[in-house]
Amino acid sequence: MYKQKNQLFVLLTLCVLMGTFLSSNAQMVDPVSWTYSVKPVNDSIYELHFNATIEPSWHMYNQTVASPVQAMAFSFEPSSDYKRINKVVEITKATEEFDKMFGMKVTYFAMEAKFVQIIQIVNKAGFVVKGTADYQTCDDHECSIGSADFSFTIEKSATSANTSEKIRQIIPDGKVAPATIKPTTIENKAPSSGSTRSLWKLFWIAFGSGLIALLTPCVFPMIPMTVSFFMHGEKSRKKSLFEAVFFGISIVAIFAVIGTIVAITFGPGIANFLSTHWIPNVLFFLIFLFFAAWFFGMFEINLPNWMISKSDQQADKGGVGGPFFMAFTTVLVSFSCTGPIVGTVLVQSAGGQILQPIVGMLGFGIAFALPFTLFAIFPSWLSSLPKSGGWLNSVKVILGFVELALGLKFLSIADQTYHWGILDREVYLGFWIVIFTLMGFYLLGKIKFKHDSDVPYVGVPRLLLAIITLTFVVYMIPGMIGAPLKALAGYLPPETSSDFDLKHLIRENVQTVVNSGQSDNILCEKPEYSDLLTLPHDLKGYFNYDQALACAKAQKKPVFIDFTGHGCVNCREMEQRVWVDPRVLQRLQQKFVVVALYVDDKVIKLPESEWVTSTYDGKIKKTLGKKNQDFQITRFGQNTQPQYALLDTDGNLLIPTRSYDLNIDSFIDFLDKGVKEFESGHKAN
């Protein structure tokens, strides 16, 4: 009996060890586990709850994150049994942070994420709601494209919600009010530290914009004029102080209301549309162009006199209403100069969380109201103010140059997303170089607009600003021939969009000498999808596995597979910190046929003849991204990126695959071992 127990213990131990070994070698990574539940609201309305648990150190991107990161997407199988009311709603608040690799803000969930979809039954209960959730997850070392099938059973015996639950409000047309879909079991969560930092950053940017607005020609002269309002008549010091403070608070409140209106109008749900679709981005570009022309003095736009007069009349009535309407009048009169700046702040913040426009306008309003309030409290300070004059118009023109440069960013986003080819990197840089060169000449008095005063000499502040501006121009010039310009990485189009790259030309010439007439750099045929997909550092290769394998057979080279993605942060880091090494580039270009397999591409649809039915999940893969992802899973047992595989001309794995590792020497050793294994195999044959 004791011997049998020992044998059983050994057997169980071997099973555990075997399971551990198999799981560790399979390397299938999906750090998200899902649970689903159905909550009836009444006999015809149901809530479908999706609950995701995310492993520590991993995060999952939400539904509104902008390209190239893969946003979460819920797809439902068509059914005549029900209809969806609105879209899937995110109950858990997503964290928003600026990602240096992408040069943009990303929104993601950590630890958990909860979602709700409202459905309305068309006939009667007794059916199943099926679909798929697609998502991307990342940690500090790797990324994964995940997919989860969901299924909700709507029971025939389902009854209305228990009276102890909070009954949701039903709108007459049968839709559930969005504000009422939040389950009572979900706790409100405080904003994350990353989100708080982002809001503070926006606040200080808006605060700075408010200070700049004070230096415009239609605001600065108003300071002594407005302050005099609080000085006239018989008033006690206490009353004057109260009115001045209330006046400042009113200005802040007016701008905060503007931000709130924008927040309610846009909200967080439209963030992805605003950040990627061509319509809002082209519209924003035109708005910035309009503002620039306005600041340059091409035309003047003023509010109707009746509106300002009406506000003036209310301000003269005194009491609490007097300071408020004086504040309202100040905002209205200054609109011709603050309008473009306010518009810029709102455009920059409208694509984010709902708090951003409010925080932005709050920061702008505080900065704008601060000097009015302080000078009203301490009127003796007015004597220290510089006299208004031509320098104010110069500030306005300088802002026009800045508006013109920043507006190009929106046109660039639309251009990259839809592959128009209008603003390639050097074209974009050319515009910026010309804009800031003209700005430098303007500061030196070499250019004059119709509202400008003569500049008999250049003052020291103006000279210093001109030096800074022209130095910035000199910094940008090397970017025209391929310099990375890391300080502007978040504002410029990617280097791959450049038509002229001196580094590329030099590399080609050097490789021509090194190759001594060999055909290491010649591809067998034009790569498929090369009009939409790219390889870094001017590497030549393919984006279709079959095409690469055929070329490898023809050239008798091993295949280097790069499983990558548009939204793979660690892939970009490997390319920028490892692939960029000349020793790595030389080996990749000369020793291998390189193929980049994008696993998250949604744009490229495959012809029906190239569709594949997965042996992993039984689904038909109709897009290039899904096909590449399935190939990685079924062939190499992994679903995280980056992953690098070295194959022979028959598609056999030469050595174990490699993932994220920033050790350059180890990566070179990986490549050399693959080449050695390939050559030894060919010698044996």
For residue 42, the 8-state DSSP code is S
Rounded Cα gap, residues 154 and 130, in angstroms = 11
Rounded Cα gap, residues 87 and 655, in angstroms = 46
Predicted local distance difference test score (pLDDT) of residue 182: 39
Question: Dihedrals φ, ψ of 362, to 5°?
Answer: -65, -45
3-state secondary structure of 31: coil
Predicted local distance difference test score (pLDDT) of residue 527: 93
Rounded Cα gap, residues 67 and 273, in angstroms = 11
Helices (H), 93-221: 193-213
Q: What is the 3-state secondary structure (H, E, C) of 45-85?
A: EEEEEEEEEECCCCEEECCCCCCCCCCCEEEECCCCCEEEE
Q: So where are the chain's domains?
A: 1-28, 32-168, 193-385, 388-500, 502-684
Predicted local distance difference test score (pLDDT) of residue 283: 80
Predicted local distance difference test score (pLDDT) of residue 289: 85
Q: What is the 3-state secondary structure (H, E, C) of 234-295?
A: CCCHHHHHHHHHHHHHHHHHHHHHHHHHHHHHHCHHHHHHHHHCHHHHHHHHHHHHHHHHHH
Q: Tell me which residue of 480, 511, 510, 509 sits closest to 497, measured CA to CA.
A: 480
Q: Tell me the C-alpha to C-alpha distance, in Å, between residue 150 and each of 34, 113, 122, 157, 460.
A: 9, 15, 21, 21, 68
Predicted local distance difference test score (pLDDT) of residue 27: 52
Rounded Cα gap, residues 3 and 523, in angstroms = 66
Rounded Cα gap, residues 610 and 622, in angstroms = 8
Assigned CATH for 502-684 = 3.40.30.10
Predicted local distance difference test score (pLDDT) of residue 425: 82
Q: Name residues of the chain where pLDDT drops below 50.
A: 1-26, 158-194, 267-272, 303, 307, 315, 351-352, 510-519
Predicted local distance difference test score (pLDDT) of residue 187: 34
Q: Which CATH number fits domain 32-168: 3.40.470.10, 3.30.300.130, 2.60.40.1250, 3.30.1010.10?
A: 2.60.40.1250
Q: Tell me which residue of 614, 654, 645, 618 sits closest to 631, measured CA to CA.
A: 614
Predicted local distance difference test score (pLDDT) of residue 591: 93
CA dihedral 483, 484, 490, 495 (to 10 degrees): 90
Tens digit of pLDDT for each residue in 497-536?
Answer: 676 655 555 555 544 444 444 445 578 999 999 888 889 8
Question: Dihedrals φ, ψ of 531, to 5°?
Answer: -75, -15
Predicted local distance difference test score (pLDDT) of residue 479: 87
Tokens matching residue 246: 């209330």
